[in-house]
Amino acid sequence: QKFWQAAPFGGSSDGVMSLDPVALQAMIGATGDVTLSDGRVLNGSNTAEFLLNGAYKELAPSAQDQYFSETAAQVVAHLFSDMNTQKLMTVAKTMLRMTEQRHLYFWSFHEEDQAVLRSAGVTGEITNDAKNPVAGVYLNEMQASKMDWYIQRKSTVKRTGDNTYHVTYSFTNTLQPGEAGSLPEYITANAKGGVAVNRVVIYTPAGGEVSNVSASNGSSFAQVQAKDHMTYMDDISLAPQDTVTIEYDVTTAAGSANLKLDQTPTIGDPAITYEY
């Protein structure tokens, strides 16, 4: 809010809405196609690929922001125009689905609004509810690259006792070994040879703990205390076609509901399997 107020184009603001390209794709699917200045049509199935990968392959860096701006402007225009009950319900369902998968966030600078947004689960905060435990796996691409498009993830949460679980989390770099050299520098950047580096942070659930963390590539996770949660952190390198699997055990508070897994959003299906 302070940054916005200080900007020459800024001013007063009531809050922030954040949408990533997957959320934009879902909103386009719900409200109508977007036609860009070059005649390209983005719809409910091709938007994310263009914004996350195709734009960097096809457009010069100096032209990319124009296309991103055009897309966002049309999505917002379609979102708030010609509103009726049916459209409102469709948009609301789409937004809630995108929020659950961490593609969309709302934050209000008004306390009364923020309380409602928080109760709706759209503020993006990590839960501290021990009775409804959530274990988190959060990632950050550690190089100035666009390699996240090529990283595919899947996970399994298996119940092993009354309040114990085993989590398996796998990453695969889907880039073909010979493809890295043909990609624009803007995609691979510091990721030489198409090797992606993700910082992986495992969050313990409120009222619970994580133990026996291991990785198939021998990585050693360090314990780091975050606010209200113990975390385990390490950087995972993935060469093209490599897969690294992380496994760990989770203990939740006695009498709590089944464990859920929260994660940095995936491009497609969250690919979480629960075995209760």
How do residues 137-180 score in pLDDT, each as one tens digit? Answer: 999 999 989 999 999 999 999 999 999 999 999 999 999 988 99
What secondary structure letter does DSSP report for 262? E
How would residue 257 be classed by pLDDT, with cut points 50, 70 and 90?
A: very high
State pLDDT tens for residues 194-241. 999 999 999 999 999 999 999 999 999 999 988 888 999 999 999 999
Return the residue matching tokens 């695969």: 172
Cα separation, 230 vs 206, in Å, equals: 9
Instruction: Report the pLDDT value the prediction gives residue 228, as an integer from 0 to 100.
Output: 80
Rounded to whole angstroms, the Cα distance separating 197 from 179 reads: 17
Which domains does the chain possess? Answer: 2-119 (no CATH), 134-275 (2.60.40.1170)
**Confidence check: pLDDT of 245 > 80:** yes
Per-residue pLDDT tens for 47-92? 999 999 999 999 988 899 999 999 989 988 988 888 889 999 999 9
- Give the DSSP H or E segment for 36: none
pLDDT at 190 over 80: no
Q: Which of these, 244, 222, 246, 247, lies nearest to 232 by C-alpha position?
A: 222
The kind and range of the H/E element at 71 are helix 61-80
**DSSP strand E in the chain: where?**
15-19, 34-35, 41-42, 104-108, 134-141, 151-159, 164-173, 196-203, 209-215, 222-226, 229-238, 243-251, 260-263, 272-275
